[in-house]
Each structure stands twice: as C-alpha cells, then as structure tokens.
Amino acid sequence: MLSPIHPDQIKILDQPWPKGSLRSKRVESKYLKYTELELAWEVLASEFLEITCEPKDGVLRSAHKVIQQAHLIHLESGDSEPLDVIERALYNSLLEATLRDPEDQDSSGFRELVISQDSDTILINLLVGFEANLVIKGVAVRLRAESGYPWKDEFILHIDPESAVEFEIGLRIPEWADETEIELKPVPAESEYEGGYARVRRVWNKGDEIRFEPQMVVQFMSAHPRFSSCAGRVCVQRGPLIYCHQRPIDDLSPNLFAVDPLIEPELVEEPDRLGGVTSILVHGTCEVPGDEAPYAPYGTHFVKPARAKLIPYYYFGREGAVEVQVWMRVATQFPEVS
C-alpha cells in the first residue's frame, strides 16, 4: 500500500492552488464497489450539474468528499485513475471557490495529494510546481518541480540527492494527455508505463532532471443520459480544465448558442486575465427567435453561424457573470436565417 508524504515535507510553489485538506482515514463502504467511471460520474454530478453563479456549499463539500475517497482508493490500489477524478475537482469547483476569496489564499491544502511513496518508489501524482524533501534508503533527496500545468504544456522535475542513490520515479500520465514526451537529462534512460505512470528506475545523481510535456488537447465531453439536466449536451475540456460560456465576457447569450463539435476549436491566449488565461473559441449557431411568443411552431425560429468564447470554469464570475453555461446545446438543423 502506498503512503502519502507528510504535508510538512512539501511546499507548493507560486501558482493558483485550491484550499482544503484531507480528513478521511478510510474508504467508505459505498466507494468500495465503485468503478473509476462511477467515481467520475460522482464528480460530474457534484461539480458540473448544479453550477450556478454562486456555487452551493453542498457542492463543494461533495467535491471534498470525492477527493478524499478517491485519494484513499489510489493509495490502496496504486493506480492513477482516481487521480484523474481528483484533478478535475481540484482545478474546477475548488479552485473557483478559492479564487472567489482572494484574501484567503492558502497553498498548504491538499499537499499530500502531490506525491505518494512506497519503499524506494516515488510517484508524482499531480504535475504542479513544488519543492519536497524526502529520505530514500537513508539518503536525503530534494525534489523541485517547475510547472505551468495545467495552463501550459510543461513540467520539469529536478532530482538532487545528497549522494548517488537508486530508486524509482513514476510520473503520472493523465488520461487526457496526448502524444506524451518524457526526456531525461543529462543521461537518457528508457521509461516503462505501468498503472498510469511512466516509471524510471536508475541511480540518480545531483543535477538529474525529467522533462515532461503533456499535450493538452481540447475535447468535447458528453453527459451520460442518466443526468437529465444535461442529456444531449456537451461541455468543453482542455487538460483537466472544464470551460464555460459566460456573458459579458462573450457578448453572445449562452442561452441562444449551440455548439458544433465537428468544427475544430481555436485557442486564444489572454495574458491580461488572472495572470494569463487560455480561452477557447468554438463554432456553432445562434438562435434567432421569429417573435417574442414563449412558444412557437417548429421552423418559426432561425439560426445564423456564430462563435462563442469559452473561459476556464475556475475564472467565471471574475468579471461579473450575468449568464453562465457549462453544458451547451449541440447545433441542430434549423432553417438558416437569410
């Protein structure tokens, strides 16, 4: 069974990081029968289906609970899949709640999620910037990670043991990563993929480093039909980040927009928003009501081509949210407006 490192052994470097802590010490019986997919459904239900402009405390409590339970399942199984669930919760609902209260920033929360350890194996679970001090086979080892994740495709891990020591490092490969490249310096070495980790066992020396560039692609995600409130809709995910359509950041009302998942989205860098935000332009249609009647025969409304700017969910409300939509309608074939 894996063990988390003590929070005092690790420091999260300067980057947005959710508040919170892990309290649960056992896996609840109902989670023992869960598959990882069901855990993912639990997170989706707690985070994205009940989104309003002021997330409810109950939603955040549910996200905390899923993180705690998924972490324990990871420690017992050694598998990385629960960490994909954890990551979505951390970088969406919990990060949004933290950024809503800028006077109460605390980077100490959830530090024990970052690294797991088993004898002479070190697993890097979350690709954040951090500094950690460990002891492996009696040798003090300092790890320092430089990271722009999940905003940029870059992660560099510096390994500095007091003296040469052999151990294994496992670098988690997120489920969404595409065309992953891992490079070891100054001496190249082959890595093996096992349990969701790229693993390298070797004698490590001061100055060794691992470079990892997870390619964060944009994906359209469909909701399971069991969730009636968003059945037939899609949301947009890039890496672990869920995106939303917010007015007034985008002039187009989210209620009138329907997205076309078959058209390739476009990335837009916005360095002036919250220290740098990557927005996504998606294509689709804008519905044009034929009149103001609350109901009308099919064919009364028209559509015209439109684009919508989506922002990461953690950023929503920073500029005054009037309308917010995470799960978007899919464009259908209404008659086009002339």
How much is the pLDDT for 52? 39
Question: Contact, 136 vs 126, CB < 8 A?
Answer: no
How much is the pLDDT for 97? 64
- Segment 105-111 shows an average pLDDT of 63
Check pLDDT > 50 for residue 53: no
- Residue 54: pLDDT band (50, 70, 90) is very low
How much is the pLDDT for 183? 86
Check pLDDT > 80 for residue 128: yes
Cα dihedral sign for 296, 244, 238, 222? negative
Q: For the chain, which residues make up each domain, given as ranges?
A: 18-106, 113-216, 218-330
Question: Contact, 259 vs 330, CB < 8 A?
Answer: yes
Q: Which residue has the higher pLDDT, 13 or 286?
A: 286
Check pLDDT > 60 for residue 104: no
- Segment 34-55 shows an average pLDDT of 50
CA dihedral defined by 92, 97, 98, 100, rounded to 10 degrees?
120
Q: How far apart are CA 245 and CA 310, in angstroms?
A: 5
Distance between alpha carbon 298 and the CA centroid of its chain, in Å? Answer: 39
Check pLDDT > 60 for residue 274: yes
- Residue 34: pLDDT band (50, 70, 90) is low
Token pair in block for residue 300: 């009364």
pLDDT digit string (tens) for 224-245?
777 777 788 899 999 989 999 9
**Mean of all residue pLDDT scores within the chain:** 81
Check pLDDT > 60 for residue 55: no
Q: How far apart are CA 290 and CA 300, in angstroms?
A: 5
- Residue 19: pLDDT band (50, 70, 90) is low
Helix (H) or strand (E) segment spanning residue 70: helix 57-77
Check pLDDT > 80 for residue 320: no
Query: Which CATH architecture group holds 113-216?
Result: Sandwich (2.60)
Nearest to 156 by CA among 177, 178, 127: 127
